[in-house]
Chain A
Amino acid sequence: MKIGIVGVPPQEVLDKYRGNDFIDLDTLFDFTDNTKAESYLPKIYCATIKSIIANALTIKLDLIIFDNGYSKCDNGRFVSEILKRELNVPIVTTQNNATRRHPQTVCESDLELRKKFDLIVDSVVKDVDKSKLKYVKPNYGFWGVPPNDFSILDLFPKETHVFGWARCMEARVPADLELEIMIREDLPTVFYAQAFCSKNSLAKYLAKKHNGLYVEVDDVLDNSVKSKIEAYLYLNRDSDHF
């Protein structure tokens, strides 16, 4: 079976379907056309949610497992209902309340930041071998969800640790707010949120509180946000972490 996954469904649900072909619908694939989602969603809307709808409309799926509670985001609940009504595909909705934190080895590894995110996203649906990963002393932090446009991650050096919901993903505790707001004091951190996502409130608040840089990105990374991040990393290069 080809199964679409949204968010981080509980492990026991995923285990039930182990051996099937999982596809992460939150992903902006080369073929993902977010304008397709505009049949059901406002034009101005969270790009990740648009990708979920666009992918669900494009890929021929046998089942969707949609973690749609507060372990994902508020939009997820509404969007799963739209898909239920509009697609001729069975949908299993879940709320992942797992509290046991798995090690966050990838988040603190010496991999390039994009590679870290690739593995974090992969780890939701498959076992990832972390045995060879090495810890890296961080110079920067990246807080947030996996961005719709991964090119933002290429701006950071590999000495960047991952925080926020992406860290919760690796820890397999997507509803763990305490872990989501955990940051490392005095580590220059970019707080990223997808435009029109309610996580912007946390990103803005935490950035202000910890002298970080808050950035909000819509569909794809634009030059002004790129320049802002480059400047922030440069101006913080002399921090005590070097």
Chain B
Amino acid sequence: MLLGDVGTSYTKILNTEKDEYRVMKTLDLLKSDIRFDIACGHNAKLKADRVVNELVALEKGSRRLIGNGNFLVVDVGSRDIKYVKMKSSKYEEMDWNALCGATLGFSIELLENHFNVKTSEIEKTSQSLGVTCGVLGMAKIFDKISEGYEINDILASFVKGIAENVYKFIDEPEFFYLSGGLYNNNLFIKSFQCKVKPLGRFVLLEGLREIGDSGVR
């Protein structure tokens, strides 16, 4: 089976026969003739006949990786945050902030390219740039630059602001699992005031694999 998590910026692909994962830019995917057996994500319907809801894929993938029981898993994407909380393997809570205030990974990548820095290599800060969304946050960044602040400090406080938004959105837990492309961004992870365990970038693909294996529709 060829499975695809077709995100706004990047598409994560799993070939289950070869157990091979890869990532490509979604813009490149859209120009290609690749078709998936099962897919999820904002652009999935353009590339697959069978489309699975992203939150369902997140829940199934997390269960496959973590096991049954209690867990809170948060997927931070390019432009959205979604989470599922399970208690004794049963649904407890979920939400999906897909529009307002949600330009997350996309904003960080844009800033990294603009300033030619890797935020994951920057030291964390206790200062938070109060950001309600990526776009408004960026305006604040350029204001801070004009006030003479160090770029790295500003970026660290921007990332801290985003982490605080996520933390509030998921109701300030003591611990959560992190899914999505920011799983290996140390600055982002350390900017939370609770314990975070990264699950990697392919959690939704694991969910699709579970669905494919079980034949659940």
**Residues B90 and A238 in contact, CB atoms below 8 Å apart:** yes
**Residues B99 and A224 in contact, CB atoms below 8 Å apart:** yes
| Binary flags per residue of B63-95, CB closer than 8 Å to A gives 1, else 0 | 000000000000000001000100000111111
Report the minimum CB–CB distance from B85 to chain A (whole Å). Answer: 10
Residues of A within 8 A of B5 (CB): none
Q: In the docked arrangement, what's the CA distance between A232 and B99, Å?
A: 18
Partner of B91, one of A222, A224, A230, A236: A236
| Binary flags per residue of A231-242, CB closer than 8 Å to B gives 1, else 0 | 110111011000
Partner of B94, one of A213, A224, A238, A239: A213
**Residues A235 and B56 in contact, CB atoms below 8 Å apart:** yes
Q: In the docked arrangement, what's the CA distance between A54 and B132, Å?
A: 34
Q: In the docked arrangement, what's the CA distance between A222 and B55, Å?
A: 16
| Binary flags per residue of B91-109, CB closer than 8 Å to A gives 1, else 0 | 1111110110000000000
Question: Residue of B at shortest CB range from A222?
Answer: B99
Interface size class of A (residues with CB under 8 A): 10 to 19
Question: Residue of A at shortest CB range from B96?
Answer: A228
**Residues A231 and B99 in contact, CB atoms below 8 Å apart:** no
Report the minimum CB–CB distance from A44 to chain B (whole Å). Answer: 13
Residues of B within 8 A of A232 (CB): 94
Partner of A211, one of B55, B93, B99: B93
**Chain A interface, DSSP helix/strand/loop, else mixed:** helix
Contacts A234-B56, A238-B90; is A228 near B95 (CB within 8 Å)? yes
| Binary flags per residue of B45-62, CB closer than 8 Å to A gives 1, else 0 | 000000001111001000
Q: In the docked arrangement, what's the CA distance between A236 and B84, Å?
A: 12
**Residues B93 and A234 in contact, CB atoms below 8 Å apart:** no
**Residues B96 and A224 in contact, CB atoms below 8 Å apart:** yes
**Residues A235 and B94 in contact, CB atoms below 8 Å apart:** yes
**Residues B98 and A224 in contact, CB atoms below 8 Å apart:** yes
Q: In the docked arrangement, what's the CA distance between A4 and B53, Å?
A: 41
Q: In the docked arrangement, what's the CA distance between A227 and B80, Å?
A: 13
**Residues A211 and B56 in contact, CB atoms below 8 Å apart:** no
Q: In the docked arrangement, what's the CA distance between A224 and B77, Å?
A: 14
**Residues A227 and B53 in contact, CB atoms below 8 Å apart:** yes
Residues of B within 8 A of A223 (CB): 98
Residues of A within 8 A of B80 (CB): 224
Partner of B53, one of A211, A230, A239: A230
Report the minimum CB–CB distance from A131 to chain B (whole Å). Answer: 37
Residues of B within 8 A of A230 (CB): 53, 56
Report the minimum CB–CB distance from B100 to chain A (whole Å). Answer: 10
Residues of A within 8 A of B92 (CB): 211
10 closest A-B pairs (Cβ-Cβ)? A224-B98, A231-B55, A235-B91, A228-B96, A231-B53, A230-B53, A234-B56, A236-B91, A231-B56, A227-B53
Q: B interface vs A, CB < 8 Å?
A: 53-56, 59, 80, 84, 90-96, 98-99
| Further contacts, 20 of them, CB under 8 A, given A228-B95, A231-B53, A231-B56 | A188-B91, A213-B94, A222-B99, A223-B98, A224-B80, A227-B98, A228-B94, A231-B55, A231-B94, A231-B96, A232-B94, A234-B56, A235-B56, A235-B59, A235-B84, A235-B91, A236-B91, A238-B90, A238-B91, A239-B91
* Pairs A–B under 8 Å by Cβ, sample size 12: A224-B80, A224-B96, A224-B98, A224-B99, A227-B96, A228-B94, A231-B55, A231-B56, A232-B94, A235-B59, A235-B84, A236-B91
